Amino acid sequence: MAETRAPASGEAAVSGRARTLCDAALAGDRRSLARLLTAVENRTPLAEAALRRLYPIAGRAQIVGVTGPPGAGKSTLVAALIAELRRAGRPVAVVAVDPSSPITGGAVLGDRVRMQAYSADDGVFIRSMAARGHSGGLASATAAAAAVFDAAGFDVVLIETVGTGQSEVEVAATADTTVVVEAPEMGDEIQAIKAGLLEVADIVVVNKGDRPGAHRTAGQLQAMLSHATSAEASQGLSAPKDPEVLVTTAATGEGVAGLLAAIDRHRSSARDSLGSQARLKRAEAQVWAVLVDRLHERVRSIEAAQDESVGGKGTAPGGRADDVARDGSAGGAAAGELLRAVASHELDPFAAADALLALLTGGADGAGEPVRTSD
């Protein structure tokens, strides 16, 4: 990560380039917008400078998450929503996430195939994104990409997740409105009352409405979800969602106008206190993500300092972890030694993490005494 340690003049150049790109993107230049998204996806220094400029401008778009199991029709439904939005003259951006190979890091991003009809329309911008090892159905840069689209003036940003199973609920923390897409006959009532994906839905869509059983599935979902809602609400548990259940046939467009109307209804209702709660949660998630990144970066820089000072060999093991942890000048060596101590079961991971945290914060506080699991 040598390029993130830019000298002062480099930082000025980066922020200058960020300003130029942002100004052009906000003025409607699609090439600059695409470049910004690439920077955001690659988390370059330019991305941070750009996001800092754009964040105050963003906050007007409706961010809609579309999630559900593979093959339920998410991409086709997103394409149908684009058509509906464009009919109303509303500019729409799409972030479509597909999985990365855990083996090679490569990916096939195929969501665009269903959305290619709008290439001549400047009011539509579709960006595919590989998850790059991020779990939860999104890429780590998805929220930031949505913020860029938001600032660039798109009225609606549709986030299409990786095909999800039962518990990839991260999209709900990123989107204003979460649409969970199911296909008919995907399970019985028991599937509907399990914890997870359906719980975070603001709107549940049973797609492929032309298939037998679609309306029966929708009825079952409606019954189980609304029952769960009222039962929990009467017990005063934390506010459960009360999702609308709709049937669509994305391939023909049937029911899609109704879905958009439901999304818009949710948008206006989300301006109340429940919506502000959701926004607070999202802010928390964003700040935490940056915090974790910053922490990673500092740990890596300590390790890099160690590599430079001792040629990557490190010091001989055996030094007391608590001593080295408090010795700021030997920070790099200490970090390496902590890891080696954990690897050899001399030190438990909790103590090592505490010692590392003490190292990062200059040993001020928050660090427990490292405890050796063995002598």
Please report, as ranges, the residues that interact with other proteins according to CB under 8 A: 30-31, 34-35, 37-39, 41-44, 46, 100-101, 104-110, 112-114, 116, 119-120, 125-128, 130
Neighbours of 279 (CB within 10 A): 13
Shortest distance in whole angstroms from residue 190 CB to other proteins? 36
Amino acid at 315: T
Q: Which H or E run contains 37? A: helix 30-42
Q: How far is the CB of 31 from other proteins (least distance, A)?
A: 5
- Shortest distance (Å) from residue 33 CB to other proteins: 8
Is residue 41 within 8 Å of 139, Cβ to Cβ? yes
CB of 41 to other proteins, least distance (A): 7
Return the number of the residue (1 or 343) whose C-beta is nearest other proteins: 1
Identify whether the C-beta of residue 95 lies closer than 8 Å to the C-beta of residue 34: no
Instruction: For residue 145, count other CB atoms closer than 10 A to its CB.
Output: 24
Residues 6 or more apart whose CB falls under 8 angstroms from that of 36 comprise 21, 22, 25, 47, 50, 148
Q: How far is the CB of 16 from other proteins (least distance, A)?
A: 13
Q: Which is nearer to other proteins, 222 or 301 (CB)?
A: 301
Closest C-alpha to 152, from 49, 285, 55, 296: 55
- The closest of 81, 98, 100, 109 to 163, measured between CA atoms, is 98
Residue 247: count of CB within 10 angstroms of its CB? 21
As beta bridge partners, residue 177 has 64
Q: What are the helix (H) ranges across 129-207?
A: 142-151, 171-174, 189-193
State which residue, 158 or 221, has the beta carbon closest to other proteins: 158
**Closest distance between other proteins and the C-beta of residue 123, in Å?**
13
Shortest Å, Cβ 225 to other proteins:
35
Rounded distance, CA 332 to CA 372, Å? 21
Distance CA 369, CA 322 (A): 7
Residue 95 Cβ, how far from other proteins at the closest point, in Å? 11
Among 142, 129, 131, 196, which Cα is nearest to 169's? 196
Nearer to other proteins, 128 or 142 (CB): 128
Smaller CB distance to other proteins: residue 120 or 316?
120
Which of 121, 232 has the CB closer to other proteins? 121
Rg of the chain taking only CA atoms, in angstroms: 24
Residue number with CB closer to other proteins (110 or 362):
110
Residue with Cβ nearer other proteins (30 or 281): 30
Nearer to other proteins, 134 or 266 (CB): 134
Sequence-ordered alpha helix ranges (H) in 141-213:
142-151, 171-174, 189-193
Please state the closest distance from residue 83 (CB atom) to other proteins, in A. 16
H-run or E-run covering 126 = strand 124-130
